[in-house]
Chains A and B, each alone.
Chain A
Amino acid sequence: MSLHAVGLTKHFPGGGTPAVDNVTFDAPDGKITTLLGPSGSGKSTVLRLIAGLELPDRGMLRLGDVDLASVAVQERGVGFVFQSYALFKHMTVRENITFGLAVRRMPRREQADRVAAMIELVQLQDLADRFPAQLSGGQRQRVAFARALAIEPRLLLLDEPFAALDARVRVELREWLRRLHDERHVTTILVTHDQSEAMELSEHVVVMHEGRVEQAGPPREVYERPASPFVASFVGGATLLKGRAQAGRAAVSTFNVAAPGAADGADVSAYVRPHDVRVTKPATDPATENDTLGVKLARVERLTFLGGTVKLALILPDGAPMTVHMPAAEVAAHGITEGDRVLVDLAEAKVFIGDYSI
């Protein structure tokens, strides 16, 4: 069932600016929608508003055809998975998963069948009679999923569900969730600060910043056509270079980029993604530390191997730092090592005109 949020606003007592400020977005039926943003961007509050755990000061929520304003949290039929798992500590895995069914007074036989199916779904058959304290983090989170799914929710809400897990388990559970979703197609809203999680899991991304929606769209569109400087820097981890416009172009750091429509002298911000940079190793003139044609060179401060790619921390000729990702094979082919002088070319930059503060 699709969810529509219109103009959601929420102030907390004592907080000056609203935690959630006029937030409007759609979560399409049967899809995973991600609320992506840094901590404090209001995304978890939006999730709690949807669940009914908080009440909005203003705005409207509609689930399918139903206005949620007069529907209590208990009656919304949403499954909520908490970052802290929030399992009932004194109940076994089986009792935890049964809880929502017992509330609904489902006949015991049906309860047992449903719970057995859920336990199988999350592959915890051998641990059904354990207490949460006897499980690993990944297992606990699977119990939390099973408990939320057992009530056959109309909407599944996931609040940073993988944040407390170690890296390997996180990747495994992410893939498991993807498969689970492909089988069941429960409309899902996922809150995360991890853009790779958003890219991998969701069909629809809503980027949030300081309580507001910055951009909403398919992950690829958000990545390739960021609507604001914040999105450009947050999604993709771009380096910000600043400069001034002159005749439709701008010199930012030591690069020259197109700045169409910019008035002469206007501030220009260029965001450069780590993958959108070409680094080559020219012949260096040892006297000037420039290349043999006199072009100024950047310096490789540090190389970090991330497996297939290498992260290069560069210092540009004007002293600005820049992060670049390159295939490990390419780095090896060029023979680039720490301390080298290198030539830097921009394949692409996202250019914003005007004075932005992010």
Chain B
Amino acid sequence: MTRRSLLPLLAATFLGGFVALPVVAVLVTAFSDGPAAFMAALAAPAARNAFRLTVATGALVAVVNAVAGTLLAWVLARSRCFGRGLLDALIDLPFAIPTLVTGLMLVILVGPQSDAGAWLEARGVRVLFTWVAIVIALLFVTLPIVVRAVLPVLEEIDLDQEDAAATLGAWPAFTFRRVILPAILPAVLQGALLTFARALGEFGAVVIVAGNIPHRTLTAPVHVFGAVESGDLVGASAMSVVLIALSMSLMLITDRYRRAWLAPRTEGR
């Protein structure tokens, strides 16, 4: 064995042991009682409602953060204002905060014992222990994803392109729609899909604020947690396999789409 072939071997062992093996273990467990048991675990109303809630809140969060993240990236890319550095650091804060702490912060902020929570409660609006709390938690946790996907693309767009569009008669709205948006759209979509994939798996921030009422505010990851707690490894694995399959296929699709779009537009650069 030469030294050159040792490193790839090491990498393969590491990837196999730490990434592939656990996935295989979950797959095997999910089908350990046969395909019928696998289907039955997923078909249970509690599982179906949990999955539906997770996909719905994840999709909503992906859409909202796609728009908000693009706007934030725009402000960061184009403003030379004093607070830019601070804003830049603030954007990454959700990644730095443990998600459980995120949940705690929301409980403190909008729980019935807080001023804001009491104010809302008096008007018959309940945030904590509803799907709204789940969405807020997910919005917070996934905020940096779209910003970080779009910002470098925006910064790379030559300002001359906007000037050129103006001399050709285009007002800013037209230029944004026809010049800027098409250039950043792949990054926005990729960021949105990553946001969705991240939202599918979020546990820490959600479990504290959601209240985990079966059929109503209990998400798929919390469902997996409950199943593990009650010793139902097959049920836990079945839901896990679905979550893994969904988020992996989304990532593969985005990646392929982005490459196909990018290739002719950046050739030879």
Q: Is the CB of B246 closer than 8 A to any CB of chain A?
A: no
Minimum Cβ distance to chain B for residue A352 (Å): 40
- Determine the distance from Cα of A181 to Cα of B98 in the docked complex, in whole angstroms: 66
A126-164 vs B, CB cutoff 8 Å, 1 = contact: the mask equals 000011111000000000000110010000010000000
Instruction: Determine the distance from Cα of A167 to Cα of B165 in the docked complex, in whole angstroms.
Output: 29
Give Cα distance in the complex from A42 to B179, angstroms.
29
On whether the beta carbons of B168 and A99 are closer than 8 Å, the reply is yes
> A77 CA to B168 CA in the complex, in Å?
7
Encoded as 1 (CB less than 8 Å from any A CB) or 0, chain B from 163 to 202 comes to 1111111110010001100110000000000000000000
A86 touching B166 in the complex, CB below 8 Å, given contacts A103-B174, A133-B269, A134-B268: no
| Binary A-proximity of B24-67 (CB < 8 A = 1, otherwise 0) | 00000000000000000000000000000000000000000000
Which residues of B lie under 8 Å from residue A357 when comparing CB positions? none
Q: Are A86 and B268 in contact (CB under 8 A)?
A: no
Say whether B164 contacts A82, CB under 8 Å: yes
Cβ-based interface call for B229 (8 A): no
User: Which residues of A62-90 have CB atoms within 8 Å of chain B's CB atoms?
Assistant: 73-80, 82, 84, 86-90
B167 touches A133 (CB 8 A): no
> How many residues of A sit at the interface, in one of the four size bands?
20 to 34
- How far, in Å, is A267 (CB) from chain B's closest CB? 45
Report A106 CB to chain B, min CB distance, Å.
11
Residue pair B168, A53 in contact (C-beta under 8 Å)? no
Q: In the complex, what distance in Å separates the CA atom of A274 from the CA atom of B165?
A: 44
Known A-B contacts A103-B170, A133-B267; A84 and B182 likewise in contact (beta carbons under 8 Å): no
Contacting residues, chain A, for B183 (C-beta < 8 A): 89-90
Q: Residues 145-161 of chain B: 1 if any A CB is under 8 Å from the residue's CB, otherwise 0?
A: 00000000000001011
A100 an interface residue at 8 Å Cβ cutoff? Answer: yes
Contacts A131-B265, A134-B267 given; indicate if A88 touches B161 (C-beta within 8 A): yes
* A147 with B168, Cβ < 8 A, contacts A103-B174, A134-B267, A134-B268 known: yes
| A81-124 interface with B by 8 A CB criterion | 82, 84, 86-91, 99-100, 102-104
A331 within 8 A of B: no
Q: What total count of A-B pairs have CB within 8 Å?
A: 80
In the complex, whether B79 has a CB less than 8 A from a CB of chain A is no
In the assembled complex, B264 has its CB within 8 A of some CB on chain A: yes
Are A73 and B166 closer than 8 Å at their CB atoms?
yes
Q: Which of these, B160, B163, B168, B267, contacts A103 with CB under 8 Å? A: B168
A51 at interface, CB cutoff 8 A: yes
Q: Give the size category of B's interface with A.
A: 20 to 34
Residues of chain B with a CB closer than 8 A to A147's CB: 164, 168
Contacts A80-B164, A88-B161, A99-B165 given; does A74 touch B266 at CB 8 Å: no
B182 and A90 within 8 A (CB): yes
**Distance (Å) between the CB of B166 and the closest chain A CB?**
5
Q: How far is the CB of B182 from chain A (nearest CB, A)?
A: 5
**Residues of chain B contacted by A132 (CB below 8 angstroms):** 265
Q: Check B264 against A133 for contact (C-beta < 8 Å).
A: yes
8 A Cβ contacts from A156-205 to B: 157
Q: List 22 A-B contacts (CB under 8 A).
A: A51-B163, A74-B171, A75-B169, A76-B167, A77-B169, A82-B164, A84-B158, A86-B158, A86-B164, A88-B179, A89-B183, A90-B182, A90-B183, A90-B265, A99-B165, A100-B168, A100-B169, A102-B178, A131-B264, A133-B264, A134-B264, A151-B169
5 smallest A-B Cβ distances: which pairs? A86-B160, A100-B168, A80-B167, A86-B164, A103-B169
Residues of A within 8 A of B (CB): 51-53, 73-80, 82, 84, 86-91, 99-100, 102-104, 130-134, 147-148, 151, 157
